[in-house]
């Protein structure tokens, strides 16, 4: 065999080994295959992923996930930035990406106190809008957005983060204006949002979504109160999303089990909708980005072996609980795709800044295989 031919064969062999699904000699199975008998497993790709500008991230999503949630492009601020203007293209790209990859596409979110343009709550003179006018705006938005993706988006986070940590309703403009401060109208904005989402797409599943349900029993009980209110009036609510923005020392097993079991007992599907484990040891623990100091999201210790071991152990603990309660859980979605584009910074996901599987990835696979 000529020298040139030997070089060619050797080069091809190296390329082939490089392409094999291994990381450091370890097999890298597809998460959707590992969890296929347990629950859907997903991520939250952003616009660069679904428009082909981040092919590495897209490859992770296509290999590992069977469901996707829009990180931003279905939120009011981005899809309906002005009264007379809808920005459909990014959301269309997201839904098309999910359909091309035969994934369960999740819409996030219709009614939220954040990322909602100020004009929504203002009348033509810039003053505060009336209850009826705000309800009309909410209906128009929901009918337009849910209607556009009818039959294509499997489920919607209809109302996001309506509760305070003590389980009472957050005093958002939605609650303040539509509830008009009266106790018997306090759930009206939530009811109306769910009714109109159901009217726009009768086959879509409808979810309430919130954070810290696994760390605050009072907040979890507040979500259960919403579910019970809906059930008492015969209104459709299919599930509750536990966002599960965790950390190296939270949530506790007990808190997570309480949330899963008590929500399931209330008669709804339980989903983990925004899973990440922040590696920063300090700072605010919630999921309100306006309270996350960007200075705190840098985490010089993130890549350290000790941090990665703690991260792997926490993910293993969380997935052991999720797998133990898999009869109640229909979906687990990571919030993002890989560390480089995570909202919280540090090293919170299963894939590092270069898109490579971390120690935490293999710990999660091991937890599933020990089932």
Instruction: Report, as residue numbers or ranges, the catalytic residues.
Output: 161, 274
* By CB under 6 A, residue 172 contacts ligand G3I: no
Residue numbers 100-119 binding ligand G3I by CB under 6 A = 114-115
Binder of ligand G3I out of 208, 258, 343, 362 (CB under 6 A)? 343
User: For residues 237 and 170, what is the distance between their CA atoms, to the nearest angstrom?
Assistant: 20
Least separation in angstroms between CB 287 and ligand G3I: 4
Question: Is 72 one of the binding residues for ligand G3I (CB under 6 A)?
Answer: yes
CB-nearer residue toward ligand G3I: 212 or 330: 212
Residues 237-256, mask of contacts with ligand G3I (x by CB under 6 A)? ------x-------------
Give the residue with the Cβ less far from ligand G3I, 33 or 165: 165
In the complex, the smallest distance separating the C-beta of residue 77 from ligand G3I, rounded to whole angstroms, is 8
Nearer to ligand G3I, 243 or 308 (CB): 243
Q: Is 351 in the site for ligand G3I (CB under 6 A)?
A: no
Beta bridge partner(s), residue 334:
275
Binders of ligand G3I in range 182-211 (CB under 6 A): 211
- Residue 58's nearest CA partner among 29, 89, 93, 28 is 93
What is the nearest approach in angstroms of ligand G3I to the Cβ of residue 9? 47
Q: Judged by CB under 6 A, does residue 51 bind ligand G3I?
A: no
Residues lying near ligand G3I in the complex (CB under 6 A): 71-72, 114-115, 160, 211, 243, 274, 287, 289, 343
């Amino acid at each position: 065999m000529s020298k040139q031919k030997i070089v060619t064969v050797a080069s091809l062999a190296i390329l082939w080994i490089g392409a094999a699904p291994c990381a450091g000699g370890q097999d890298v199975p597809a998460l959707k295959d590992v969890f296929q008998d347990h629950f859907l497993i997903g991520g939250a790709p952003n616009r660069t992923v679904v428009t082909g500008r981040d092919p590495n991230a897209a490859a992770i999503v296509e290999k590992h996930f069977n469901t996707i949630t829009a990180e931003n492009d279905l939120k009011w601020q981005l899809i309906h930035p002005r009264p007379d203007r809808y920005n459909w293209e990014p959301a269309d790209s997201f839904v098309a990406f999910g359909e091309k990859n035969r994934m369960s596409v999740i819409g996030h979110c219709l009614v939220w106190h954040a990322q909602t343009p100020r004009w929504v709550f203002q009348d033509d003179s810039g003053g505060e809008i009336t209850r009826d006018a705000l309800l009309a705006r909410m209906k128009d938005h929901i009918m337009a957005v849910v209607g556009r993706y009818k039959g294509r988006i499997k489920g919607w986070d209809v109302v996001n983060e309506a509760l305070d940590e003590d389980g009472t309703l957050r005093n958002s403009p939605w609650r303040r204006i539509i509830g008009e401060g009266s106790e018997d109208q306090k759930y009206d904005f939530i009811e109306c949002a769910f009714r109109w989402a159901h009217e726009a797409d009768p086959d879509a599943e409808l979810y309430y979504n919130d954070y810290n349900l696994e760390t605050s029993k009072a907040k979890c009980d507040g979500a259960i109160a919403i579910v019970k209110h809906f059930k008492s009036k015969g209104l459709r609510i299919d599930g509750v999303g536990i966002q599960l923005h965790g950390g190296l020392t939270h949530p506790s097993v007990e808190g997570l089990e309480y949330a899963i079991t008590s929500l399931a007992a209330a008669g709804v599907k339980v989903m983990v909708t925004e899973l990440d484990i922040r590696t920063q040891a300090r700072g605010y623990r919630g999921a309100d980005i306006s309270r996350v100091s960007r200075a705190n999201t840098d985490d010089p210790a993130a890549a350290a072996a000790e941090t990665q071991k703690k991260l792997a152990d926490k993910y293993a603990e969380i997935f052991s609980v999720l797998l133990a309660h898999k009869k109640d859980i229909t979906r687990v979605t990571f919030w993002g795709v890989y560390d480089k584009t995570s909202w919280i910074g540090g090293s919170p996901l299963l894939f590092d800044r270069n898109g490579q599987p971390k120690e935490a990835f293999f710990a999660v696979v091991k937890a599933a295989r020990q089932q």
